[in-house]
Amino acid sequence: MPEAAEKPTISLEVPGYSGRGLRVGAGATIRVTNLHGTQIGDMFALLQSDPEEYLNTARTRLLTERLFPTVGQNFYSNRQRPLLAFLADTSPGVHDSLYATCDTQLHELLGGGEDHPNCHDNFLSAVKNLGLDTQFVPGPVNLFQNTPVGSDGQLSAGPSPARPGDYVELRAEEDVYFVLTACSVDIGSDINGGKSKPLLIEVSA
């Protein structure tokens, strides 16, 4: 009996200070790898058949009853349906679903100037390249972001503890547009280790 053919894997590097997206079919496995360590990735997913249904961090916190899902749980849409299943995590397990994307205004406040790359604009560029015409940016899932919540409710932002080669794996529960941006914050904070670095997306059917 001939051996089963190895499942093809699509690899897409997300350069620092940028964003990329691709179409992912239901049942496919998505791996996001932190190539150099200490890099945050803003993750988004939108339903291909109706992009007005998208991964919603508030609904995910509600339905998982956690600040961030644990392996074995799901990321849910704004219509309370599972879009991504959380399969594996080799990182220290530090992630965030509270912070919004960085944008032009934030970088101006940090002293980066109005032309500084940011995840808000990089998301819009990535979905435009996928053929979507929208100006709406959902709240991101901030992979590898270190934003502990104090006992008094105070949020803080520290360097990402992710190491080179750390990854998370997810399974698409629906046909989705999957978008990842490499966080661009490099002024006024060392959350990315001082500069934005590339991430890797790998999709296997």
Q: In this model, does residue 4 exceed pLDDT 90?
A: no
CB 102 within 8 A of CB 110: no
Closest by Cα among 31, 97, 94, 26 to 60 = 97
Q: Where are the domains of the chain?
A: 9-147+157-204
Q: Is residue 153 a contact partner of residue 167, using CB atoms and an 8 Å limit? A: no
Is the pLDDT at 5 greater than 70, yes or no? no
Q: DSSP state, 97?
A: S
User: In the predicted model, what is the mean pLDDT of residues 12-35?
Assistant: 98
pLDDT of residue 3: 54
Average pLDDT, the chain: 93
Q: What pLDDT shows up at residue 205? A: 86
Residue 184 has pLDDT above 60, yes or no: yes
Which pTM value belongs to this model?
Answer: 0.94
Percentage, residues of the chain above pLDDT 70 = 95
pLDDT band at 126 (very low <50, low <70, confident <90, very high): very high
20-31 residue pLDDT tens: 999 999 999 999
CA distance 201 to 167: 10
Instruction: Indicate the residue type of 162.
Output: A
**Mean pLDDT along residues 129-152:** 95
Q: For residue range 40-90, what is the model confidence (pLDDT) as tens digits?
A: 999 999 999 999 999 999 999 999 999 999 999 999 999 999 999 999 999
CA distance 149 to 88: 24
2/151: higher pLDDT: 151
Q: Mean of the pLDDT values across residues 121-128?
A: 97
